């Protein structure tokens, strides 16, 4: 099982509508959860826990990927029956599950079989694993992740005193820093957001979304102009 701090393996897999979906199809955090079999009691409970808390994840800009070795046809009926609003991905050969250390031998009712483990990984916008869960409780799992995301965000918020405003990058001598942009929604309303977006792209700044009101950026400011 891969660990916190490692880069999340990239993947492209067909979803329940047989459309290719990749890990890079996201702007913020991603939840990559592996489950053994569609339409079985534990996996249905887990999927419905994400469905029931979908608004909370969606409001945070979190993308959810559920991965199993089921064929697309089974995922399609599973998603339709339980009205699942997120991507269910078909990893029939187990390659992606193995890349995440979530596929192998397990004992089921005394029989040793190969299959997918019930593990979950939270990936930050930079593609780094920031949270891992092994052998999860299907019913409480979605709430568990939301609680841990809040803790992660609070940890970032505590670092504000060491930040500089993102606008100061234009004249700063910084080669690396943590910067912040307050109220991006207001900037969008005032038509200022494209300027900040271009600035961040120019400086190759990796963003970490913290809340509706504040975005923090862990920076590697390359070739920053000096005064």
Give me the catalytic one of 43, 48, 163, 219: 43
How many other C-beta atoms can be found within 10 angstroms of the C-beta atom of residue 124? 19
Beta bridge partners of 22: 12
Residue 43 annotated to the active site: yes
Q: How far is Cα 117 from Cα 94, in angstroms, rounded to an integer?
A: 11
Residues recognised as catalytic: 43
């Amino acid at each position: 099982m891969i660990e916190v701090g490692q880069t999340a393996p990239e993947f492209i897999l067909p979803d329940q509508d047989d459309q290719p979906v990749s890990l890079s199809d996201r702007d913020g955090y991603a939840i990559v959860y592996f489950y053994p079999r569609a339409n079985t009691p534990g996996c249905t409970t887990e999927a419905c826990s994400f469905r029931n808390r979908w608004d909370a994840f969606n409001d945070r800009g979190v993308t959810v990927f559920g991965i199993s070795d089921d064929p697309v046809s089974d995922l399609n009926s599973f998603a339709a029956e339980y009205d699942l609003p997120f991507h269910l991905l078909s990893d029939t050969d187990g390659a992606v599950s193995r890349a995440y250390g979530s596929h192998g031998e397990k004992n089921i009712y005394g029989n040793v079989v190969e299959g997918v483990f019930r593990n979950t990984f939270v990936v930050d916008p930079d593609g780094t694993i920031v949270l891992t869960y092994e052998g999860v409780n299907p019913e409480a799992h979605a709430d568990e992740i939301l609680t841990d995301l809040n803790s992660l965000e609070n940890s970032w918020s505590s670092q504000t005193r060491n930040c500089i405003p993102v606008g100061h990058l234009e004249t700063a001598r910084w080669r690396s820093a943590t910067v912040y942009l307050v109220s991006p929604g207001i900037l969008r309303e005032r038509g200022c957001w494209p300027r900040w977006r271009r600035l961040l792209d120019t400086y190759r700044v990796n963003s970490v979304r913290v809340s509706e009101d504040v975005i923090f950026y862990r920076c590697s400011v390359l070739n920053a102009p000096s005064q």
